[in-house]
């Protein structure tokens, strides 16, 4: 039995806890939060044996074998590095850190420890997305020419004008860190390395410091070009849409709902046919009707446990997380300098 300690009482409680409980090889034995009294009440209500009022006590508890982190990016490197120093595998959130230096330190600690590590890029664990990648890998649409991501939602942070890391680019979040970090990961996962980009980041007209919009143009090592347009300030937004256009066909993943993880429909066409729906079932998702995030995270949690038991590298791991941080850093520099930034195609950055 692998004993898991969770750092973070919000996303950690709502998503990490039920996700790890899916796999009988693990047991969540501890949770840590910033408020000891509140965390103790949460632990009791959630049937978690031990509660801590700070992350260090949890990480250093000998009864915790592995650590799952669900904190703002600025806190994550210190927690992950200390866990890895103690030889404990780490399941981390995206983005890895506020800065490239923080992500590099985490990656180095993981390499030095040799312990299992995962970053929660959960779109890659949705079955319909995996089917789309399979088709692209098989060359179903021929050589890729152009790809487009359009993601228009209004998140709770923007709607309520909450000033936290999710609305602040300087804290590793904003539209770029909180949302586009996913897009940069899944586009490289599906289509190969990005070799250059330009970016324009902006906020609300009356509160520009709340970063809500990102527009990115990019080139891929394959020769294809693409764009990412994302807004988390779009009331009744059109949802999340990916389109891939190749020499021999087209493929799309479209989710018009406000649920980030479920609702995607995959359509595919090869010349001369029209787009047709490809249905992909997800029985695990049906177990959690109230939260579409849990099933994908449960799959990544199982990959994490596989890596702990088998000693192999889990994917997406800290190498992929560092690569995304390289791309995030490039996007911020491109925005700040109003310039095109060339990027090495190596995944490790």
Q: Are residues 88 and 214 in the same domain?
A: no
**Is 245 in the same domain as 103?**
no
Nearest to 17 by CA among 179, 8, 173: 8
Residue 344 DSSP one-character state: -
Helices (DSSP H) in the chain: which residue ranges? 11, 17-22, 36-46, 55-59, 76-85, 100-113, 127-137, 156-159, 174, 181-191, 283-286, 294-310, 318-337
Vertex 289: Cα angle to 285 and 293 (nearest 5)? 60
pLDDT for 57 beyond 70: yes
**Residues whose CB falls within 8 Å of the CB of residue 190, separated by 6 or more in sequence, listed in order:** 132, 133, 136, 244
Of 294, 297, 166, 149, the C-alpha closest to 230 is 149
Query: Using 50, 70 and 90 to split pLDDT, how confident is the model at 346?
Result: confident
Helix (H) or strand (E) holding 29: strand 26-32
Tokens of 161: 């004008």
Q: Token digits for 75?
A: 């806190």
Q: Domain for residue 347, yes or no?
A: no
Would residue 193 count as lying in a domain? yes
Across 252-279, average pLDDT: 97
Looking at the predicted structure, is the pLDDT value of residue 158 above 60?
A: yes
Residues 253 and 304 placed together within one structural domain of the fold:
no
**What pLDDT, on a 0 to 100 scale, did the predictor assign at position 347?**
57
* pLDDT tens readout for residues 185-209: 999 999 999 999 999 999 999 999 9
Terminus-to-terminus CA distance in the chain, angstroms?
Answer: 35
Residue environment code for 92-128, b if the CB has 16+ CB neighbours within 10 A, otherwise e: bbbbbbbbbebbbbbbebbeebebbbbbbbbbbbbbb
Quote the domain boundaries for residue 218: 127-282+335-342
Structural domain includes residue 35 = yes
Regarding whether 16 and 70 lie in a shared domain, the answer is: yes
Do 42 and 188 share a structural domain? no
Q: Check residue 349 and give its pLDDT.
A: 40
Q: 88: Cβ–Cβ under 8 A, 6 or more apart, which residues? A: 59, 64, 65, 66, 67, 115
The mean per-residue pLDDT over the stretch 50-61 comes to 98
For the segment 57-62, the average pLDDT, to the nearest whole number, is: 98
Mean pLDDT value across residues 259-270:
97
In a domain, 230, yes or no: yes
Q: What is the DSSP string of 245-313?
A: EESSEEEEEEE-SS-SSS--EEEEEETTSPPEEE----HHHHT-TT-TTHHHHHHHHHHHHHHHHH-PP
Given a contact cutoff of 8 angstroms between Cβ atoms, the answer to whether 291 and 140 are in contact is no
* Contact call for residues 74 and 160 (beta carbons, < 8 A): no
Is 74 exposed, middle or buried (CB count within 10 Å of its CB: 0-12, 13-18, 19+)?
middle
Which CATH number does the domain housing residue 51 bear? Answer: 3.40.50.720
Q: At what angle do helices 181-191 and 318-337 cross, to 10 degrees?
A: 120
The CATH number covering residue 181 comes to 3.30.360.10
- For residues 10 and 24, membership in a common domain is answered with yes
Residues 156 and 101 in one domain: no
The reply to whether 101 and 132 lie within a common domain is: no
Q: Are residues 138 and 245 in the same domain?
A: yes
C-alpha 231/C-alpha 182 separation (Å) is 14
Q: Are residues 276 and 140 in the same domain?
A: yes
Is the predicted pLDDT of residue 268 greater than 60, yes or no? yes
Does residue 211 form part of some domain?
Answer: yes
Q: Name the more confident of 203 and 348.
A: 203
Residues 67-78: what's their mean pLDDT? Answer: 98
Structural domains of the chain, count? 2
Say if residue 89 is in the same domain as residue 185.
no
**Tell me: the pLDDT tens digits for 89-140?**
999 999 999 999 999 999 999 999 999 999 999 999 999 999 999 999 999 9
Residue at 270 is within a domain: yes
Averaged confidence pLDDT in the chain: 97
Are 277 and 135 contained in the same domain? yes
Q: Is residue 330 in some structural domain?
A: no
Q: pLDDT per residue over 164-179, tens digit each? A: 999 999 999 999 999 9
Q: Is residue 329 domain-resident?
A: no
Is residue 185 within 8 A of residue 124, CB to CB? The reply is: yes
């Amino acid at each position: 039995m692998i004993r898991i300690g969770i750092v973070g009482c919000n996303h950690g409680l709502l998503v990490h806890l039920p996700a790890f409980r899916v796999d009988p090889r693990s047991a969540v034995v501890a949770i840590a939060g910033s408020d000891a009294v509140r965390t103790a009440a949460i632990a009791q209500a959630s049937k978690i044996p031990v509660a801590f009022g700070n992350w260090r006590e949890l990480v250093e508890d000998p009864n915790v074998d592995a650590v799952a982190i669900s904190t703002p990016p600025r806190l994550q490197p210190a927690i992950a590095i200390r866990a890895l120093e103690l030889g404990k595998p780490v399941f981390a959130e995206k983005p890895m850190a506020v800065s490239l230096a923080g992500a590099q330190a985490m990656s180095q600690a993981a390499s030095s420890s040799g312990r299992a590590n995962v970053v929660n890029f959960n779109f890659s664990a949705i079955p319909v997305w995996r089917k789309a990648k399979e088709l692209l890998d098989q060359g179903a649409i021929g050589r890729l020419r152009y790809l487009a991501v359009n993601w228009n939602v209004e998140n709770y942070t923007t709607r309520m004008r909450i000033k936290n890391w999710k609305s602040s680019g300087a804290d590793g979040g904003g539209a770029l860190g909180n949302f586009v970090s996913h897009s940069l990961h899944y586009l490289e996962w599906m289509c190969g390395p990005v070799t250059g980009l330009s970016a324009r980041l902006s906020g609300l007209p009356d509160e520009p410091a709340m970063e809500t919009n990102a527009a990115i143009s990019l080139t891929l090592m394959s020769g294809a070009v693409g764009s990412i347009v994302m807004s988390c300030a779009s009331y009744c937004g059109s949802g999340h849409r990916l389109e891939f256009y190749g020499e021999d066909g087209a493929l799309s993943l479209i989710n018009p709902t406000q649920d980030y993880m479920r609702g995607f429909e995959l359509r595919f066409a090869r010349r001369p046919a029209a787009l047709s729906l490809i249905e992909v079932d997800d029985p695990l998702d049906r177990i959690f009707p109230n939260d579409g995030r849990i099933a994908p995270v449960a799959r990544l949690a199982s990959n994490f446990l596989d890596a702990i038991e088998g000693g192999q590298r889990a994917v997406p791991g800290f190498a992929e997380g560092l690569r995304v941080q390289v791309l995030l850093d490039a996007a911020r520099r491109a925005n700040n300098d109003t310039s095109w930034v060339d990027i090495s195609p190596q995944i490790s950055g």
